Structure 1
Amino acid sequence: MLQPVRHILDEVKIILASSSPRRSEILHSLGLKFDVIPSKYEENLNPKDFSDYGDFVMKTAYNKVIEVAERVPDNNSLSTVIIGSDTVVSFNGKIYGKPKDKGEAFTFLNELSGKVHTVYTGVVIKSPFEVTQFYTSTDVKMAHLEKDVIEAYIETKEPLDKAGAYGIQGIGGSLIEKVNGDYFTVMGLPVHETCKHLVEVCKRLKQQNELN
């Protein structure tokens, strides 16, 4: 999908406003060259202040991007595009972010065990001329997990930096029975939607460049 605008992307300075190795892996798989500047934004928004979790993750992603933009020299340059993302897991009206410790990771996995939960990922792409925002959601069915399985998984330490206390692209993938929607939404960066919006951003960057 990105091939028709590859020549534009090659001239763009792309910044990923995240330290997530999963998001870096996804961008690398698309053949993009980018710098990683993790956002220092303190994620303190209250999901109850939003009409739905999609708006919540979009706003969090937006704040991450703006915080990075304020620290990047010449962030209004034509060649700078900043990508930020935020992911949460929700079930039964509750948000499951990254667990604070092993105990909370156990609680999360125990509550999600055998249930269908929803993963929301919000993405923000900031160019010098516009800010593009969107979110996607995916339903995930987790297998029924015995206590010893949960405890053993937690000991791998994989759950401790993952929303919902599991990583679908890693060992945690063995805990998932079914995914109904975009797998990459669960990983933390929906590939198709991100590429679709990047194409539009590139077209508008080209138009603005031709006008200048």
Structure 2
Amino acid sequence: MSSEHPSLVLASGSATRRALLEAAGLAIDVSPADVDEAAIRDSMRASDAHVSHESVADALAAEKARAVSEKKPTALIIGADQVLSFEGRLFEKPASIEEARAQLIELRGKTHALHSAVALARGGNIEWRHIETAKLKLRAFSDAALDAYLLRAGEAVTTSVGAYQIEGPAIQLFESIDGDHTTILGLPVLPLLAELRRREVIIA
């Protein structure tokens, strides 16, 4: 990236998202967005009880990017967010290991969706946005297998909306996964890279 191009800033404190971008060869700064995610979700659902879960992920990613771009107007801001959708409900990060247990029991033997959105903003304006969906099915694991997973993963289960990181021991809980790996990790990297090439921010 030459000096004439805007700096890239990730509007997230997620170590996973930062690692994905750095592994792709992007030089980025990090500036976590200070937005009230719960308020945004609640407002959208209050306005439309049937709002799509994809729209919620998209709005959260866009708002994160927009908020940081107002503070760093010359930079190109990357916002990202992910929601878990299951049987018409939105799941949030479990607040405790016990909540994670209850959530995984509810998802056991069934398929859920992860909607991951990414947006680019500059100067307070959203210039591009994209969303990808992955579908994952948990196997009908035993209570003993669940207990073993939770013991091994510990408090890390409270750091992701699904109460799992598929790159770790949680992979043993799954029967099938349909979707791009980076989408599952919360940042669709391939469409983002394509857009950055289109903008000539990175080499085409």
> Do both proteins adopt the same fold according to a TM-score greater than 0.5, normalized to the shorter chain?
yes
**In the alignment, residue 30 of structure 1 is paired with which amino acid?**
A
Alpha carbons 2:69, 2:122 under 8 Å: kept: no
Q: 1:42 aligns with which of 18, 22, 36?
A: 36
Give the share of equivalent positions with the same residue, in percent.
28
| 1:70 partner SS | helix
Q: Which residue of 2 aligns with 1:153?
A: 149
Q: Which residue of 2 aligns with 1:12?
A: 6
Question: Which deviates further from its counterpart, 8-17 or 145-154?
Answer: 8-17
Deviations 1:139-162 (A, max 9, x none): 111122222322332232221101
Distance 2:114 2:78 in 1: 19
Query: Unaligned stretches of 5+ in structure 2?
Result: none
Query: Unaligned stretches of 5+ in structure 1?
Result: 1-6, 206-212
Change (3 A) 1:137 1:9: farther
Alpha carbons 2:70, 2:122 under 8 Å: kept: no
Q: How many equivalent residue pairs?
A: 193
1:130 deviates by: 5.1
* 2:188 is the alignment partner of 1:193: no
Q: Which residue of 1 aligns with 2:182?
A: 184
Q: 1:113 aligns with which of 108, 128, 131?
A: 108
1:31 deviates by: 0.4
| 1:164 partner SS | coil
Q: Which residue of 2 aligns with 1:92?
A: 87
Change (3 A) 1:130 1:61: closer
* 2:52 is the alignment partner of 1:52: yes
Question: Which deviates further from its counterpart, 112-121 or 42-51?
Answer: 42-51
| 2:131 partner SS | strand
The RMSD of aligned alpha carbons is 2.2
| 1:140 partner SS | strand
Alpha carbons 1:110, 1:145 under 8 Å: kept: no
Q: How high is the TM-score relative to the length of structure 2?
A: 0.85
Q: Which residue of 2 aligns with 1:82?
A: 77
Alpha carbons 1:85, 1:122 under 8 Å: kept: yes
| 1:194 partner SS | helix
| 2:34 partner SS | coil
Q: 2:164 aligns with which of 163, 166, 177?
A: 166
Aligned pairs (5 A) from 1:133-144: 133-144=129-140
Question: Which deviates further from its counterpart, 56-65 or 163-172?
Answer: 163-172
Change (3 A) 1:187 1:10: farther
Distance 2:3 2:26 in 1: 8
Alpha carbons 1:127, 1:201 under 8 Å: kept: no
Alpha carbons 1:26, 1:191 under 8 Å: kept: yes
Deviations 1:79-121 (A, max 9, x none): x110011111111111122111112111111111111111101
